[in-house]
Amino acid sequence: MTDKFISIEGIARRYPGAGGGTTTVFQDFWLSMARGEFGCVIGHSGCGKTTVLNILAGLDEPSEGTVIVDGQGIEGTSLDRAVIFQSHALLPWRTVLGNVAYAVSSKWRKWDRARVKAHAQKFIDLVGLTGSEHKHPSELSGGMKQRVGIARALSITPKIMLMDEPFSALDALTRGTLQDEVRRICLETGQTTFMITHDVDEAIFLADKIFLMTNGPGAVLAEIVENPLPKERGRIDLHRHPYYYALRNHIVDFLVSRSKSFAAEVTDHDPRHVPTVRPGLGEPVIVSPPRVVEPNPAQSVAR
């Protein structure tokens, strides 16, 4: 861990449970990301992914622990951390331009109308919505709505983009196109991005690091998977890469079986030092944690 641009430090989230007790969604949760990295969280429904993202966004507060971004503990929401919502959350009474301009004028309050408009237009063009500026969200397809959401998030030039299953409601074709664009934009701008997804291929295509979460309640970050695929990768021929299947199988195996049995099987899990693995040819290789001395560097992670 060299540069901890985002550092989630020992957060917990509890809800009052049935019968006066408390339900712990997760606790002692640690996660860090470097500047410019693209991180994807994968885990089953209800394990607390959205909760982690909302805490990172400042929309929710952890019951314990802190989140540090760029060397500062976060307090509430911030224009530095833009959120792309799963349900796109566009304001239906505003046009496409109106929605993006709302974000722009919220960040730069002193800008005049023309300047706000020009800036918003730049990002509408960037996501390929030129010509639809004056449409209302109800006149747009699901994919176009999500593009507006992306334009709105990018327009405030945030330090971090947070995306909660942004493409899960879209058809496969639209999803693919949007994945391409998000990847292009993130690579061009060096955007630090934290994203939640259900879709293993989406994570493989987009992410530098994939965070695997076990099932809740009491979910833990089980493993960090480093993406062994080259930076220049295409969505179409992703599956031709020699490492692709090792990576994919590793993640799918986790989701199918290990996410359930992890808590019972791994008793010495240290949430502060989550193992990082890098699947490639043959068995996945553990490249971290730094503290634990592994006798055999090629040892399988499946313990």
Partner 1 sequence: MTLSLRFRAAIVSLALLGVFLGVWHLATRGGGATATMSPEYAKLMGLTATQGKSAMPGPLDVGAKLWEHLKRPFYDNGPNDKGLGIQLAYSIGRVGLGYLIAVIVAIPLGFMIGMSPLISKALDPFIQVLKPISPLAWMPLALYTIKDSSISAIFVIFICSVWPMLLNTAFGVAGVRKEWINVARTLEVGTVRRAFTVILPAAAPTILTGMRISIGIAWLVIVAAEMLVGGTGIGYFVWNEWNNLSITNVIIAILLIGLVGMLLDQVLARFTRMVTFPE
Ligand X SMILES: Nc1ncnc2c1ncn2[C@@H]1O[C@H](COP(=O)(O)OP(=O)(O)O)[C@@H](O)[C@H]1O
Residue 227, phi-psi category: left (phi > 0), alpha (psi -120 to 50), beta (remainder): beta
- Please tell me the total number of residues recorded for the chain in this structure: 303
Range 137-176, binding partner 1 (CB under 8 A) = 137-138, 156
Instruction: Please tell me the distance from the alpha carbon of residue 206 to that of residue 186, in angstroms, as a whole number.
Output: 9
Residue 156 site contact among partner 1, ligand X, Mg ion, none (CB < 5 to 8 Å, cut-off depends on kind):
partner 1
| For Mg ion, the closer CB: 44 or 269 | 44
Residue type (1 letter), 292: V
Binders of partner 1 in range 69-128 (CB under 8 A): 76-79, 81-83, 85, 87, 89, 91-93, 102-103, 106-107
Provide the token pair at 257. Answer: 């079986």
Is it true that the peptide bond before 289 is cis, omega within 30 degrees of 0?
A: yes
Q: Output the smallest distance, CB 226 to partner 1, in A.
A: 30
Q: Is 21 helix (H, G, I), strand (E, B) or coil?
A: coil
Which of 7, 24, 32, 50 is in the footprint of Mg ion by CB under 5 A? 50
SS3 18: helix
| Of 196 and 246, CB closest to partner 1 | 196
Instruction: Quote the longest CA-to-CA distance of the chain.
Output: 64
Q: Which stretch binds ligand X (CB under 6 A): 49-57, 61-69, 120-128, 135-143?
A: 49-57
Find the distance separating the first CA and the last CA of the chain, reported in whole Å.
24
Q: Enumerate binding residues for partner 1 (CB under 8 A).
A: 57-59, 76-79, 81-83, 85, 87, 89, 91-93, 102-103, 106-107, 136-138, 156
Residues that bind ligand X (CB under 6 A): 15, 25, 43, 45-51, 216
